[in-house]
Amino acid sequence: MDGAVTVWPDLAYDSWRETAATLQLWTQIVGKVRLKLTPWLNHGWQVPLYVTARGLGTSPIPIGHEILEIEFDFNAHRLLARTSRDEKGSLPLEPQTVADFHRRMITLLNGLGVAVTINEMPNEVLNPILFSQDRSHGSYDAAAAHRFWRALLQADRIFKLFRTGFLGKASLVHFFWGSFDLAVTRFSGRKAPRHSGGVPGLPDAVTREAYSHEVSSAGFWPGNATFPRAAFYSYAYPEPSGFRDRPVTPGAHFNEGLGEFILPYDTIRTATEPEALLLEFLSTTYAAAAETGGWDRAALECPIGVPGQVRRV
């Protein structure tokens, strides 16, 4: 298997842009089911998807006294839904419009006894169209979707390793379907100034709740129409004075337009030691935020975790 699968696959955005646009909207439909059924958790942490052994999944969603799970399987190329009542169903991941996917998804859930109505307006995308009316997005390149998942898989495991070196409040490694990216976030423990809002396609109340406290956040996204290349990123909110001028991993740079440090995915995938390079990027950009932001690093940090070894205290 190792010889047949590229660990860090090629993910040239132009080669799968239509599939990426369609898949982002499909994940939003599934994510909004979770949003509708799950009580709000700080920073919107009740809504993301998570990398699984086969694709992207919701984790358990409460449905009365039972639970529902939904998973995109990028090996078998099916969407799977199952409940704790031992009910299950699926639909194929294949070229189909967003409108058709939405209709089939709701029909699938109804067949499992889950009646749910979601907000059909997509978030954080240009020129949004109601899901039930969107017949302009319908591409699905199975090989490209599989490569995307393989890239997420690699990012997820390094992000989780990075997360072990922090004692303070930190997020799980989340896949946010709105922005279509994988992210992990560290918190200083202090409240942040009220966010000004204005994020396109995102209610100000959601943005302000998400950024209620100081953060150093890093992630991976496959690119979009305005930034058509896969990249790793890191930013701080609020951005401390001097943050963008701090030296970080060679090959990374601060993108003025995006307001964050960027390390191209291709720099990682072609590196001699990609895991070490990515971990260095995460560490140096976090250090830039913590140092310029005056975080209590001695109280918040610890050595990276080692499997099977208890952390020394």
Question: Domains of the chain: which residue ranges?
Answer: 13-133, 142-300
Percent of the chain with pLDDT over 70: 98
Torsion region of 249: left, alpha or beta (phi above 0 gives left; psi -120 to 50 gives alpha): beta
Residue 70 tokens, joined: 């939904």
Q: Is the pLDDT of residue 4 over 80?
A: no
Fill in the amino acid letter for 70.
I
Pick 213 or 312 by higher pLDDT: 213
- Please report the pLDDT score of residue 164 as a whole number: 98
User: By the 8 A CB rule, do 69 and 37 touch?
Assistant: no
Q: First-to-last CA distance in the chain?
A: 40
The residue-averaged pLDDT of 197-203 equals 90
Question: Can you give the pLDDT at residue 1?
Answer: 39
* 134 pLDDT higher than 70: yes
Q: What is the pLDDT of residue 159?
A: 98
- From the CB of residue 139, how many other CB atoms can be counted at a distance below 10 Å? 16
Q: Write the pLDDT tens digit of every residue in 223-270.
A: 998 899 999 999 999 999 999 999 999 999 999 999 999 999 999 999
- Examine the pLDDT at 2 and tell me if it is beyond 50: no
The answer, as to whether pTM is greater than 0.85, is yes
Report yes or no: 191 and 214 within 8 Å, Cβ to Cβ. yes
